[in-house]
Amino acid sequence: MEDKITSIVADDRIDEILHLNATKEELIIILNYIIMDYKKFSLTDKILLQSQKLQKLALEECIENRYVYIFLPGVKNSMDIKSQKEVRYTYEPKEGKILKEKYRNGRKTESTEVTYEQINKMLGSFNQSTGAFLSSKPNFAESRFIAPLLSQEEVSKREKVQVKGGQIQFVQIPRKNKHPFKNYTAEEVQKHNKPGDVWTVLNGKVYDISLYLDYHPGGVEKLMLGAGKDCTKLFNQFHSWVNGHAFLEQDYIGNLKY
């Protein structure tokens, strides 16, 4: 397996596992570590792994593939391996440890070492707590924290309203008094649900969209449906082809934590 790589691909993230001299069991541990991260930040236990031919893959089969595409409920995956991802992780096995490095927009931002024993402890703890909770809640995605979906009739109307300015103008506005970048709980996000103070979650990322209320082409009412909630499914109802993070990057204030 020397020089082989398995890449776990999402729309805005790629995780590259370098095989080197690692055993199959060690590679599966790394893969489980990556999947745990997706489950934590997406608050779902419903994850599908597929090959380039759209065949469903078991963990053992993933390791034999160059590219593996990860699908989560309500989150688009265009299966694009050519464009640079916003976030890239690499995992390099070396003498009982894994060198994990994080790159954001091509620039290295983190470098840490973790042992297989540490990962197994994290996986065990996750499965007993968060993982067990998610798997026991098949309707979790319909909870009050998830923004409600609209009827197909309303989606097809796509009515636009008069707004303060255009989308380019919105992007160019300087942001002042930004919140500290950190991980936020669902409870913290839910407090910001009124005009002038609106947070939302899109694909596990927390955004302060207060400023966007005056610029949203669909109007304030539609945008407020995601106020203090996870708007991922609602966003994909209307804008499944849009890179929301690229548009809201200045308003990105942290990640959702469980």
Query: 182-256 domain in CATH 3.10.120.10?
Result: yes
pLDDT of amino acid 138:
45
pTM beyond 0.95: the answer is: no
C-alpha atoms less than 13 angstroms from C-alpha of 34 in its C-beta half-sphere: 31
Sorted by where each begins, the domain ranges of the chain are 1-130, 182-256
pLDDT of amino acid 125:
84
Closest Cα to residue 200, out of 169, 170, 235? 235
Which tokens go with 90? 């690499």
pLDDT of amino acid 103:
95
pLDDT of amino acid 225:
93
Rounded-to-integer distance, Cα 140 and Cα 164, Å: 37
Burial, 98: exposed, middle or buried (Cβ in 10 Å; 0-12, 13-18, 19+)?
Answer: buried
Cα 139 from chain centroid?
19
| Mean pLDDT by groups of 10 residues along the chain of 258 residues | 82 93 93 91 81 91 95 79 90 93 92 94 82 54 70 77 85 90 91 94 93 92 93 87 86 87
Residue type, 37: D
